């Protein structure tokens, strides 16, 4: 096992190594971030509700903490995510006591884009312009064949996606513009994403890249991952891995029996599945090594690999899938442990490129 060097420096000739950060984790893991990462993404601080909680009222303070870190590191930010069905104030979709018109929503998107670009352009190299706009009938029950039945879609149909990209192109001409989504390596979801992207391209919208989230709740299908990278790159897009983490449930294997929410025994099943064991932690390490092997093999089209968090002490997965107030189950989905120490896979990832 090698003496540990900077993960970001080790991968400099392949792609940027990024992490989603927040003010709290910056305070706790400042030196770790500076040493091992070459790109940062605001976890929540640039989302609509955080930046514009009321129409025309902009609150940049928390995002500015992340901008200051980027300046300290002499790097730029992957900005995430102006248009998303979650974390958007209800005011966006209302016009007084009636629903907003599509035209009003387009105006609001444009005004928001202008404000955030004027504030952040100097420190942003890429925007996740629209996040998770394709349907997911297996999880949400949507019946639309392509698009998520969000409040945006109910009012604007898919026009809000084009409006968002048009505005960001106008106000941030020097940054790359990405569409970002999850389960992007699964064939059915991938087909919907490709339809969305081709529609944008046919309308003349500038879209530079595909954000492959790479949240793994089930065992990776490495062949489908490679196929997906090739398909998105074949559309003329750059690829960013944007939200990588590996749940303990991903260690169960593709043939393991899986219960669905609502089925008898689900709560007991999911708690057992999410509980860490030495064997599961070792398997997560193996998954990371294999994923990075694939990412390196496509470094001609992949420009950045970002984990959704810095270290295991702060990860959204601890409460994912549980009701508010329920006891959480500690997850270990990232490259650094709860104490900010590198896991065995980090040494292996560095050894692989030395």
Say how far apart CA 80 and CA 45 lie, in whole Å: 8
Please say if 293 is a catalytic residue: no
**Parallel, antiparallel or unpaired: strands 98-99 and 209-212:** unpaired
Cα atoms in the 13 Å half-sphere on the side-chain side of 216? 27
Please say if 52 is a catalytic residue: no
Residues 225, 256 contacting (CB under 8 angstroms): no
User: To which residue do tokens 């599945």 refer?
Assistant: 273
DSSP state letters, 296-329? HHTTTTEEEEEESSSSTTS-GGGSTTS-TTSPP-
Catalytic residue among 132, 158, 162, 184: 132
Cα atoms in the 13 Å half-sphere on the side-chain side of 152? 26
Please name the residues in contact with 249: beta carbons below 8 A apart, sequence gap of 6 or more: 217, 218, 270, 273, 274
Catalytic site positions: 132, 243
């Amino acid at each position: 096992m090698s003496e540990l060097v900077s993960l970001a420096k080790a991968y400099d000739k392949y792609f940027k190594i990024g992490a989603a950060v927040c003010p709290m984790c910056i305070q706790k893991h400042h030196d770790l971030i500076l040493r091992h990462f070459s790109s940062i993404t605001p976890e929540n601080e640039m989302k609509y509700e955080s930046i514009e909680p009321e129409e025309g009222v902009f609150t940049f303070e928390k995002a500015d903490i992340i901008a200051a870190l980027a300046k300290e590191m002499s790097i730029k930010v992957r900005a995430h995510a102006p248009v998303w069905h979650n974390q958007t104030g209800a005011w966006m979709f209302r016009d007084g006591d009636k629903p907003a018109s599509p035209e009003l929503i387009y105006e609001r998107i444009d005004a928001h884009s202008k404000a955030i670009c004027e504030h952040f352009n100097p420190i942003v190299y890429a925007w996740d312009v629209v996040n998770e706009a394709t349907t997911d009938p297996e999880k949400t029950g949507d019946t639309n064949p392509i698009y998520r039945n969000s409040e945006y879609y109910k009012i604007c149909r898919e026009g809000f996606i084009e409006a968002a990209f048009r505005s960001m192109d106008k106000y941030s001409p020097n940054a790359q513009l990405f569409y970002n989504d999850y389960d992007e390596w699964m064939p059915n979801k991938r087909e919907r994403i490709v339809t969305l992207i081709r529609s944008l391209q046919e309308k003349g919208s500038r879209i530079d890249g595909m954000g492959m989230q790479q949240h793994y709740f089930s065992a990776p299908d490495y062949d489908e991952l490679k196929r997906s990278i090739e398909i998105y790159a074949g559309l003329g897009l750059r690829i960013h891995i944007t939200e990588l983490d590996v749940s303990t449930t991903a260690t169960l294997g593709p043939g393991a029996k899986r219960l669905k929410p609502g089925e008898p025994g689900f709560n007991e099943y999911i708690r057992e599945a999410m509980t860490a064991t030495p064997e599961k932690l070792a398997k997560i390490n193996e998954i990371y090594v294999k994923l990075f092997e694939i990412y390196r093999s496509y470094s001609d089209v992949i420009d950045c690999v970002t984990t959704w968090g810095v270290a295991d002490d702060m990860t959204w997965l601890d409460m994912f899938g549980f009701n508010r107030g329920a006891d959480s189950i500690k997850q270990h989905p990232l490259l650094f442990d709860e104490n900010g120490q590198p896991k065995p896979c980090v040494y292996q990832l560095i050894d692989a490129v030395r």
